[in-house]
Each structure stands twice: as structure tokens, then as C-alpha cells.
Amino acid sequence: MQHKPVVEAKIVNPLLGQLFPFPDYATSGAAGIDLRACLTAPLELLPGDSVIINSGLAIHIHNPQLAGVLLPRSGLGIRHGIVLSNLVGLIDSDYQGEIQIGVWNRGQIPYTIQPGDRICQLIFVPVVQVALKIVSEFDQTSQRHDGGLGHTGIQ
């Protein structure tokens, strides 16, 4: 059996685990944990609007070699234009607060988020911290050099 890293979790809204299921992987092969809207009433999101929704869950990763990443749910984005307001959220290993989810309606019609709706996914990824070394010039062995965005050096 593979060892799973442990991340501390704290319920900060009593709706979580009572009225709404505690966040977990939906299947044994799922990469992300669905986070739910910890709301007491439906929330209408007009086109172009964004709002922060509490997840009811606080985490403390502890391990600087791990980070949490919030990703949008593809079905909400494709069918309704509901995505994360910053497109991807990053949770550092030393953060200990409630996970708050910025949601943006980039669609053309209002969308109502219901209490307990699954609104994003939380995944954990490895982190490598680096030391930046200041140089005056880069090694020119790269084929790309400094061609800019979308430039591979191939004509």
C-alpha cells in the first residue's frame, strides 16, 4: 500500500460533514477533492460578477514540499461559464486558514450556486524551491534563446 502524505484539516463551518458531505475523493482514481459551497442560501452570480465562497474547510499542509492547488470544475466552466476568479488558486504549506474560493461568472447569463454545490477541486502537488543565481548572460545552448512568448526558435 502506498503511503499518503497527511494534511491536517479542520471543519470551520458546521454545515460541512453534517448537511454537506465532508470533502473526499469521489473515486479511487480521482486526482482532486471536490470542495463545496458552504452557503446557507442560494447565491445568484450575474454575468461578469465574482464572489468569494467559503468551503467550510481549513487546512494546514505543514510540508514545504507540497502545495494545494484549486482548479475549476470543467463542467461548470464549459456548460455555465463558472470558473475560478483567479483561474487557479495556490495554497502554501504554511497557510492555516479556511479555503476561500473566488468564483467568476464569465458566461452570458446569471447562474445560481446552491448550498452544497461542488464548485472546485483541490489537488496537492510537489513543490521544489530553488535558489536564484544572478548571471549577466545565459548559456546559449538553448534553441529558444529569448524569442518571446510562443517562440520555439523553429521557423
Express each pLDDT in 48-68 by its tens digit: 999 999 999 999 999 999 999
Calpha distance 135→17 (Å, rounded):
52
The reply, when asked if residue 50 is annotated as ligand binding, is no
What is the pLDDT at residue 60?
97
91 in a known ligand binding site: yes
Residue 32 has a pLDDT of 96
Is 24 annotated as contributing to ligand binding?
A: no
How far apart CA 41 and CA 14 sit, in angstroms, is: 15
In Å, what is the CA distance from 133 to each residue of 65, 90, 129?
21, 25, 13
pTM value? 0.87
**DSSP code for 93:** T
Task: Tell me if 104 sits within 8 A of 59, measured CB to CB.
Answer: no
Q: Is 92 labeled as ligand-binding?
A: yes
Q: With a cut of 90, say whether residue 108 has pLDDT above it.
A: yes
Helix (H) or strand (E) holding 77: helix 74-80
74 marked ligand binding residue: yes
Q: pLDDT tens-digit profile of 7-47?
A: 999 999 999 999 999 999 999 999 999 999 999 999 999 99
Q: What is the CATH number of domain 8-126?
A: 2.70.40.10
